[in-house]
Structure 1
Amino acid sequence: MGKCSGRCTLVAFCCLQLVAALERQIFDFLGYQWAPILANFLHIMAVILGIFGTVQYRSRYLILYAAWLVLWVGWNAFIICFYLEVGQLSQDRDFIMTFNTSLHRSWWMENGPGCLVTPVLNSRLALEDHHVISVTGCLLDYPYIEALSSALQIFLALTSSVALTPTDTRRPRRHRIYNCSLCTRLGSSCPAPTPVSSALWRLTAAAASSGQDDRRAPWRLTGLLQLARLIWVCIRIGLGPSQPGLQGWGRVG
């Protein structure tokens, strides 16, 4: 646990956000809440991009994810104000969650904990193709359930933004051992140099010196000559030292 870095923590919070968003998406589908459904879909895509950017060291994706977190916190704050009817917002008058296309309410209105639904027959308030119901006995009313769900989303977004701040998007460098001094410092024995290892080291050095500019071809004439000499050394080792006419050709210089 002590080796878990900021990237590991951010991925963990992103996974929690995915679980919470999927759970919320299911209940919004059951309640035909089209505006939250669209917002949840965008949130799921942004979280997936955040996970990909964290794992693959892509800073642009993390910037996009951070910008979306700001919008996500604002949207959930609006949902809390809407269901608690803060200011001039009213659930009986405004049908923002369904884009004013239907009179559906939250799924928790009829399926909350302890709720008893009683249909009101022959009600004058019933519109065409609709019916009036009476909901009683709820342990927790649906506006508070929706407000608590949005508060959970805000909490996860804020904790993810805190974990996002110290995240390092630079790729770790791979240290390769080229000399015996580094072997000694790492506490390992330095292998004896061979013609093949010596040629490999020179070939790598030539490729590194010629490939500093990504716009230029990394293999130049020197690298090709070193590659040809390396192939010849491998052939010489495969044939054995007893073959006639091969003495003096395997020296890499």
Structure 2
Amino acid sequence: MQEKKFPSVLSIAGFDGIGGAGIQADIKTISALGGYATTVLTALPVQNTMGVKSILAIPPGVVRAQLETIAEDILPCAIKIGMVHNPELIEIIVDFLKDFPEIPVVFDPVMVASSGEKLFSDQTHILHMKKLFPRISIFTPNLDEASLLTHQSIQSIEDMEKAGKLLLEMGIQSVLLKGGHLKGEQLTSLFFDIEKSVHRFDTKKIHSKNTHGTGCTLSSAIATYLALGKTSLEAIALSQDYVYKAIFHAKKISWGKGNGALHHFFKEI
């Protein structure tokens, strides 16, 4: 009997005890879409659906050991990077990625939570983070994160276009700028590809309190589809559809007192 193999996707991200974001969301997403999830823990936020109370950093040496140990056994087909709120961790990840130039990397910066809380805004950290940019295949900031990085107010599609071009000038290969925070009933995201072409994705907004971990889910979905051999445009389109359905199927579920999670294992009826 021929062995069945699942493409492995490595998530380098923070913990989420309520299971909606971070490594837990990544594991659910990767598994739901047909990949095999491996993980490296970078931080342990203490949180619930109502917000983040504190963040415990994982020692950088432990993160390095996790990366090396996973890679020597299960080499990923794609990598998703989430919370790296310590500049030293960024240096370790940059050094690690030098040995694997062929592996696509999706970076969801996790600078601002869905609730609006800044998880970091230190300019020294941002300068370190930019060292990652040349190695990133697809960068997936939300509008608040893009605003922090570009020092621009983003209030419209036109502002998004300007911000996306500024992000490309920082050395990133491609950018998916998520427009979920714009006013209106339509959610628009813009993808700035390696050729500097702009692709627009429009979906109807779903009014739901269960949107915790949306960015984590989208970025790990993109990484999974890249691992499955899809192009960047295909991966983004399929991931947008998956996230839309995961939000839709979660909107009537009660998970916690605050912002609940998506339904990663929804079934179409």
| TM-score interval, normalised by the smaller of the two chains | under 0.3
Larger of the two Rg values belongs to structure? 1
TM-score (norm 1): 0.20
TM-score (norm 2): 0.19
Larger helix proportion, structure 1 or 2?
1
Larger strand proportion, structure 1 or 2?
2
